[in-house]
């Protein structure tokens, strides 16, 4: 079963910021980041419970070639991506922004 993925506004902003960062370095890096991000999203859609649960009940999927984690939660048949965070950041998706109750 494939789950549907929904991105929070914060997760969209994270991805846009990361893409801009890589475009300033090398446009090919931005394209490669987007492809890798899409690959991990496809794995999440197929097997959302395969990734470990972290702080706050969020699951965390790691990108292989870029130093980022995708933080998400699963509600029925929907995967909600809450943040895309650099691995060196200690916080997950609750970085003082749009927290869900």
Q: pLDDT value at position 97?
A: 53
φ and ψ at 58, to 5 degrees? Answer: -80, 145
pLDDT in tens, the chain (101 residues): 789 999 999 999 999 999 999 999 999 999 999 999 999 999 999 999 999 998 778 999 999 999 999 999 999 899 999 999 999 875 666 544 544 43
pTM for this structure?
0.86
Yes or no: is domain 4-86 CATH 3.30.2310.20? yes
- pLDDT at position 101: 37
pLDDT at site 95: 45
The domain limits of the chain are: 4-86
Side-chain-side CA neighbours of 51 within 13 Å: the count stands at 24
pLDDT of res. 55: 74
Tell which residue, 93, 89, 39, 47, has the closest CA to residue 65: 39
């Amino acid at each position: 079963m494939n789950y549907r993925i929904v991105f929070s506004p914060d997760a969209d902003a994270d991805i846009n910021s990361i893409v801009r960062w890589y475009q300033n370095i090398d446009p090919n890096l931005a394209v490669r980041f987007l492809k890798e991000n899409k690959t991990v999203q496809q794995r999440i859609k197929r097997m959302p419970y395969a990734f470990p649960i972290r702080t706050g009940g969020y699951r965390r999927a790691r990108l292989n070639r870029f130093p980022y984690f995708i933080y998400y939660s699963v509600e029925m048949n929907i995967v909600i991506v809450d943040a895309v965070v650099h691995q060196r950041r200690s916080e997950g998706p609750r970085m003082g922004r749009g927290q869900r109750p």
